[in-house]
Structure 1
Amino acid sequence: MESLHNHKIHIPLFSLFFLLLHFSSLHFLSLAYAQPDKYFVNCGSKADVNLNDRVFTADSSSGFLCSDSEKSRAIESTNQSRNLYQTARIFYNQSHYEFTIAENGTYIVRLHFLTFSSSVNLSSALFDVLAFPTVSNFGFKLLNNFTAKNSSNSALIEEFFLAIGPGSLKLYFTPKGSSFAFVNAIEVFRAPLKFSPQNYSSSFPLVLRTTYRVNVGGQNITPDNDRIWRKWEQDDIYLSNSNSSEDSRPSSQTLIRQSVESDGFVGADNDFVAPDLVYLTAKVMTDGTNGLSKPFNITWSFNVSADARHLVRVHFCDIIGPPGNLVFNLYSNGNFIKKVGGPDFDFSSLYSPFYYDFLRSNGSEFINISIGPSIDTTTNNSFLNGLEMLEIIEGPALSNPPASVCNVKGPNKIKVGLVVGSVIGGLSLICILIVGILFGLKYRTAKRVETSEWSPMPAFGGGSTHSRLTDGTIIGSPMNYLNLGLKISFAELQQATNNFDTKLLIGEGGFGNVYRGTLLNGRNVAVKRGKRDEQGSGQGLPEFQTEIMVLSQIRHRHLVSLIGYCDERSEMILVYEFMEKGSLRDHLYNSNLPPLSWKQRLEICIGAARGLHYLHRGAAGGIIHRDVKSTNILLDENHVAKVADFGLSRSGPLDETHVSTNVKGTFGYLDPEYIMSQQLTEKSDVYAFGVVLLEVLCARPAIDTMLPRDEMNLAEWGMLCKKKGFLEQIVDSSIKNQIDPSSFRNFSETAEKCLQEDANDRPTMGDVLWDLEYAFQLQQTAKHREPHEDSTANASSAFVLPNVQRFPSVSSTINIDDLALPGGDELDTTEVEVFSLLRVGDAR
């Protein structure tokens, strides 16, 4: 178990040496620390604001902003209170802020975003943020296709570490297409720690983006309790198994900070490394009263970009004791990383904080961090106090920064070179226009409008209509088996979407944007167009191929139907039937739509269960969906449920077998056993469907960080309520008076069976389907029903049956009436709710 497996990560030793050497030097504190270059900007404001001992200067008078009145403007919130997030600067064209940098060093850059209520819908902004330090001729794309949508209505703060030399730092805000960019506040200041991810003389310095900063075993730590204004969040929502650990008793002892370094471990000799509050709390292993028969590793799971490398910092401080008695191991995704503790360990004394850094690059969308007892000890315990994870943004990424003219107040100075350059540039432009017009008149064809984000005929496509789908394989199947009869020309899709008009944009996801369209035959469709950067790197191609392979071979009333696809040149486009009522999630919470009745909810669950049961048992070879969630269950005009989004699906025989694979899916729905073992089975879909059942019952999301710690995770909270006998107290108030007690009991027991931690204890989807049909029958035959409970005709309206008994054979059957029916559905392969607006009239 302790053999080193990190040799699987192919990283140049020289780069690794530099990376870890400089990252480990973060603990050194400049004793005479001062911030020679520090900038705090209140964007879009005419007044300064004080926040946590920082004075944010109004950008209207700071001189940092390089833009003119035609490119940007300031807006204010309808709430006139004075704080940092009541104003913003919006940009209609590329503009930038420029900051003077006097000294070498690593600088922290924080960008603040809040979509407050104003005259402009800030949540519709879509833009990139670029950074160009003059230490090199290359810049970096800090944020790509960024949108500041946030369901919690709190500010989004993006934090970066940049190695910068003397000169300037330019931060460009670049709107995408016809959209705009915005920012509420900017921080740029030199880190108080010697933090250099790579030496300054390198042609391609690295940039780090903070993805997670977690106070393990403790409460949230706000920026005003951190010396450099960092936010530390609670760890509970990242725990794979909450029964494996418990919070230690917070310590009130004074920390013994030491400037010591040994075998990669570094003493946290000052509170710039991490506040005392981080080291005075911890997660420790449970004492066995939780029902676990043997020591159990504590595991935290974090969703990350599969294509990026990450620096991971783990913080330790023994506040448990006795000193030198604990020995445990640190793992990442099951691979042994480091042994911690022991009598000869240099950090064995109590209340002495230290940390350890390592590089992680595993090609998975999840990084799991685990701690567990070593075989070298008889003390079955381990602890962790804090964790930080930073994504490495590697260069070179961008060429020289674009030229721009700053509208900075000051004396007007006209330079001869500028005048001459302007004249020559103007004459050149006129010549180019004349040549262009003559060329256009000679070769003019039908009118064609350029798309806002991509060129319809990308240069790197080479003008070829060659399809990449016949070149590769997916899930072990040759791509030449694709149904080529589903191919739709790019020209037709251009016409269907008015050349991908942003006014028809109805959703955005990691794979691409979704547009409402109308084909030549008058059929309404949803068109998902892959992003160019995805296509160039090949990142989106596997999902594109998988979706086509799965949906071109199956047909079911309760599965989305693929209308067609386009693979001309560099394009990856999927076309689905337009779904009138949007996603199930839209009708459960955070929506102004009328609530679904209990009968409707049962019918929708039954329809989705039928679709999943067909995938598992009726489709050739068996298919595991792998991303079951309420946003991937879509509703047509009659509220018929259809399961969508097969980009992460895996195929293969499912009887008593598993598929070893990197963990993919969505937080809150992930099977704990799958996270731990990385072995995927159909029971992982069953677990996720159990979470959906609780969503339907309680009308709340799978993860809600705004709730108290015990209630954040719906699956854990729902099962705790069920165990204690008060599950009915968290049922959606709009349906409480509609549910028959017998139907409720059967439905809740079904959800409980789906959410068993051991996959072997969970039912099959066939069993789940039978139980839901029975819950529906109990509801239908109830003596007392509310007049408003009746719903529109639906997929399960034929379930009005006489009293029935449970026959085991029912679970293994497929309803023939459900097969080979035209279906419609939409698409989304990320956590972003692409289909939340797939309803007529809601296009933006």
Structure 2
Amino acid sequence: MGEPSAKGLLTSSNSQPAAASFQDPSITSPVPYMTANIFTSESTYKFPVSGSDRHWVRLHFYPTTYNTLNSSNSFFDVTASGGITLLRNFSAYITAQALSQAYLIKEFSLNPSDDGFLSLTFTPSKNYQGSYAFVNGIEIVSMPNIYSQSAILVGSTDQTVDVGTFAFQTMFRVNVGGQYIPPTNDSGLSRTWYDDTPYIFGASIGVTSGAGDKARIEYPNDEAKLIAPDDVYKTARTMGPDSQINLNYNLTWVFQVDANFTYMVRLHMCETQVSKVNQRVFDIFVNNQTAQAAADVIGWASNKFVPIYKDYTTFVSDEAGDVMLWVALHPNQEMKPEFYDSILNGLEIFKLSNSDGNLAGPNPVPSQLMQEAEAGFNKGFQESPSKKAYIIGGAAGLVASTGISPTIVLRRYRGKGRCSPAPSTRGSGWLPLYGSSQTSASKSTVSGGAAACFIHGCIASAGISSIAEIKQGTKNFEESLVIGVGGFGKVYKGIVDGSTKVAVKRSNPSSEQGVHEFQTEIEMLSKLRHKHLVSLIGYCEEDGEMCLVYDYMAYGTLREHLYNNKKAPMSWKQRLEICIGAARGLHYLHTGAKYTIIHRDVKTTNILLDEKWVAKVSDFGLSKTGPTMNQSHVSTVVKGSFGYLDPEYFRRQQLTDKSDVYSFGVVLFEVLCARPALNPSLPKEQVSLADWALNCLRKGTFSDIIDPHLKRRMDPECLKKFAETAEKCLSDHGVDRPSMGDVLWNLEFALQLQESFEDGKSSKGGSIDMPESVRSEIISGEHNGGASTGGSEASNDTNSNGIFSQLISPKGR
């Protein structure tokens, strides 16, 4: 079936084509988001489809200004054939703002059509004057019969739900323990699989493992290959190698859903580590009810590398305020398995239509801070002759809309019939943003003219629109408010919007860094949101000034808590937790975004601590996009900080993510030994901490250089694991260094050993129940580590000294 024209399918003339006024940096291709059809009254598309197939319907929305129409005024319904309500009183603007996303994709699955046509009707809401409907892209995909099986109703003894009779909406689809999988890598069905770490509940994230590229998934039949792609089954999240620890927690995921709907939860599982029945047996819980007792993947699948899936349904009521759907795994003890552990490879959650054929939920409610920020933007970013504001969804110059229409594509799976090429389905340049994280900023133009640019939707920049307001917040850059000095310039503590504390990094005209670093910092941080990355609130370029505005980090840099200060020394457990947080942030940079991002300046002054001692990686002015699939490295001029610089990168000028791993190894020794990476006042052989630590390890005198405050407070096995990890990071050749995922796994394991030690339990010997063959297989796998994304939290002014990177060593960059 070839690609039809939008005009030929639209049964109403009450529409007009339009071009988006602004392209958000997260939109990597103009298709389909830079064009739209605008509907001022009820309008219907009719698509000829096969009457025997279910179909996926994917609706693409990019809320911005079209033909002077403000997207905040758009509220509309979307209904499909058979009276199915897909969206009701829907606002793409409110939804995108609340979810901190620039654009939206809504995916539905609809039953076969009776008349050979699938219709979609867009109706502007009558409750809002001047409201209109719009759509940027429509995909109709004939889908295989892979969601029609009956699913167990959780909480009942023998009742099932015939899922195939319902229309349903895809709410979540995650690759558990693995990376983002774009539509182009999904078994020909163009589904998108996201990282599961944003949804993991609590600090107990388990460990991740990979079967490796050479592993072959053994599908029982051809249709099974369509259930999920290989990459889902080749990676997994388990609880870890320590059975005693595993018995004390649940591996849990939490998802926010709409109330008063039934949901189907599909769990994807595939054993790549154990091969016998009753080696790994666990219980599955959905919303605190037992969905499956004594789940044994090998027992279900019969063999290793054979994938299986299990479907469960549950009704979610509105008894609680925030409606959540919980999925949890816990080792089963009754079966006395060989290992007390659980495993999951993938997870999908679908909302089923109710008895009225309704799938529509309410628009999400942005937080009060987000609403206040938006009000501040509307007030503070009015166009004036002296400045220009660039905001997601704001007008940055209208584009001519003649002859423009939304992208519409019809496709069939597995090559049935004639198929037109799929539209560009490349994902955004980063994983989706969750929780209270903010939307990306508009791309810096650094035009040299008067311009103030800020991130749309941020909580702290509501009252800022010019350099004058930044000066007011920092008392005209008063010297007493300087909390750091680096290669870019000075960092000031400031107050904006009345009470919100921020850190303002102001460029120094004579600085070694300038426009390029300014652009890089904005472009990197505007596309990245993660609990362990510092949040860029906004930026300003006006009257020759370049300023970057960040969340204020109450406890400053990691370095200032390690040495040369009068502060109480941190405990070993606290240091481990900080290292794990920083490792999660770096691991996200290397694997969580669509492209590898190499930080290139990892050091203890670039690891900040918020008011809860949560570590956040900062300073992306030197960051580089990593090599592509066809490259082994990026050739680039050497930049970084002496003492942390990868010697292989320095020699060959070939940058890889293993350069960050080397720098992080220095950080680990710095944390353990509480001394600088370079100390010229020491004897020659001790000047470099990396060289000195490795030398002491070889000589067996390493205990002599450990921070005296830590001695007799550390578990020996924990120390051994930590030191081994740091040593491997400092290997001469990058190929011999672990990935950041492996580093993260080892640090989390070291923390478990330390916690057992502090609880009075010995970590030596019997607590590691897995045999060495299985342990080595897990350790050698492609561990992706855990990361929990989310927005940064407001900081308290518990420590006014110190924040921000580049405090100690502004040189060597």
| TM bracket, shorter-chain basis | 0.3 to 0.5
Larger Rg: 1
Instruction: Give the TM-score normalised by structure 2.
Output: 0.40
Instruction: Give the TM-score normalised by structure 1.
Output: 0.39
